[in-house]
């Protein structure tokens, strides 16, 4: 394991801490084994006290690795698996166990986010199962495109899926994320078919995802599923911009401002018009 691991805490104040190269010294063969077995994972960090990543107060583990390249991503340091801290499943479980009682008392839970947690699907399954075995409510925050990596039985172990839908329009989705929307929508349909509780998350970016027709189509689709308990409209912000600069990545949205309150309200109203709870 890397020298930096000795100096970098698994705990972070927030996911906005820039973290790079913490797993770079793990041999390629060990990375491959980790991805197959799930006995080791790569985490950006653990954070506590989130009120926006599922019901109640959440402990969140942020995984490293993502195949999307969202133009507005506020954690591009999580794109690369090798940026994450290598942790054994036992270490991650022990970290979570520290909060078990508090989470139960506060009706909170554990959320696995990223990055894209299903880039490390075996680790994700094992860590969520460990949380479940502790009696802690579990949520998976995912872009949905790797949902096929989970079996139906594994889906049953996840109490809630926070599914990000970046855009309805296929071309716009590819522009925003670099990837196809089809697998995301298929995963949404599969969750619905299996009656798994889901919250939908939609990032509202002026000039990119905010056109009314795009939102109307997502709202209609979400309402048709029958398992979407709520929709979170997440206003675009610039808090991650510094990471793009530090990582020497080309950030295309530097001149985009956060959406006005009325624009956020209008988007929420479109979801509500389809009978969904939206915040």
Q: Which is nearer to ligand SF4, 55 or 65 (CB)?
A: 65
Q: How far apart are CA 234 and CA 271, in angstroms?
A: 13
SS3 for 87? strand
Task: Tell the smallest beta-carbon distance from residue 76 to ligand SF4 (Å).
Answer: 7
Place of tokens 């048709």: 224
Q: How far apart are CA 64 and CA 75, in angstroms?
A: 10
Of the candidate residues 42, 62, 68, 251, the single one contacting ligand SF4 (CB under 6 A): 68
Of the candidate residues 78, 111, 209, 227, the single one contacting ligand SF4 (CB under 6 A): 78
Supply the Cα-derived Rg of the chain in whole angstroms: 18
Strands in 28-187 per DSSP E: 40-50, 58-63, 85-88, 109-113, 137-142, 160-164
Task: Tell the smallest beta-carbon distance from residue 69 to ligand SF4 (Å).
Answer: 6
Task: Tell the smallest beta-carbon distance from residue 184 to ligand SF4 (Å).
Answer: 10
Q: Answer yes or no whether residue 80 interacts with ligand SF4 by CB under 6 A.
A: no
Q: Answer yes or no whether residue 143 interacts with ligand SF4 by CB under 6 A.
A: yes
Strands in 95-154 per DSSP E: 109-113, 137-142
Q: Answer yes or no whether residue 167 interacts with ligand SF4 by CB under 6 A.
A: no
Identify the CA nearest to 162 among candidates 227, 218, 207: 227
Q: How far apart are CA 100 and CA 241, in angstroms?
A: 34
Compute the residue count for the chain. 279
Of the candidate residues 114, 144, 147, 259, the single one contacting ligand SF4 (CB under 6 A): 114
| CA-to-CA dists, residue 162 to 8, 23, 53, 55, angstroms | 28, 27, 8, 11
Of the candidate residues 23, 83, 103, 116, the single one contacting ligand SF4 (CB under 6 A): 116
Of the candidate residues 22, 59, 70, 267, the single one contacting ligand SF4 (CB under 6 A): 70
Q: Answer yes or no whether residue 66 interacts with ligand SF4 by CB under 6 A.
A: yes
Q: Answer yes or no whether residue 138 interacts with ligand SF4 by CB under 6 A.
A: no
Of the candidate residues 45, 75, 111, 209, the single one contacting ligand SF4 (CB under 6 A): 75
Q: Answer yes or no whether residue 194 interacts with ligand SF4 by CB under 6 A.
A: no
Q: Which is nearer to ligand SF4, 184 or 264 (CB)?
A: 184
The residues of the shown chain that bind ligand SF4, judged by CB under 6 A, are 66, 68-70, 73, 75, 78, 114-116, 143
């Amino acid at each position: 394991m890397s020298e930096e691991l000795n100096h970098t805490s698994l705990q972070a104040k927030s996911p906005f801490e820039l973290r790079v190269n913490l797993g770079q010294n793990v041999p390629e063969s060990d990375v491959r084994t980790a991805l197959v077995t799930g006995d080791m994972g790569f985490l950006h960090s653990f954070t506590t006290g989130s009120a926006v990543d599922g019901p109640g107060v959440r402990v969140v583990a942020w995984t490293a690795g993502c195949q999307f390249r969202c133009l507005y991503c506020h954690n591009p340091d999580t794109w690369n698996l090798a940026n994450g801290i290598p942790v054994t499943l036992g270490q991650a479980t022990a970290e979570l166990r520290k909060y078990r009682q508090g989470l139960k008392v506060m009706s909170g839970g554990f959320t696995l986010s990223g990055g894209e947690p299903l880039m490390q699907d075996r680790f994700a399954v094992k860590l969520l199962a460990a949380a479940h075995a502790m009696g802690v409510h579990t949520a998976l925050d995912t872009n949905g495109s790797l949902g096929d990596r989970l079996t139906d039985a594994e889906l049953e172990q996840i109490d809630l899926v926070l599914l990000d839908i970046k855009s309805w329009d296929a071309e716009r989705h590819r522009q925003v994320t670099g990837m196809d929307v089809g697998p995301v929508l298929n995963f949404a349909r599969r969750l619905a078919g299996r009656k798994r509780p889901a919250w939908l998350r939609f990032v509202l970016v002026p000039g990119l995802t905010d056109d009314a027709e795009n939102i109307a189509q997502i709202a209609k689709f979400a309402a048709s599923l029958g398992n979407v308990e709520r929709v979170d409209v997440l206003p675009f912000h610039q808090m991650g911009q510094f990471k793009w600069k530090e990582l020497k990545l080309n950030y295309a949205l530097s001149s985009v401002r956060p959406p006005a309150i009325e624009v956020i309200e209008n988007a929420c109203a479109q979801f509500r018009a389809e009978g969904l709870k939206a915040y």
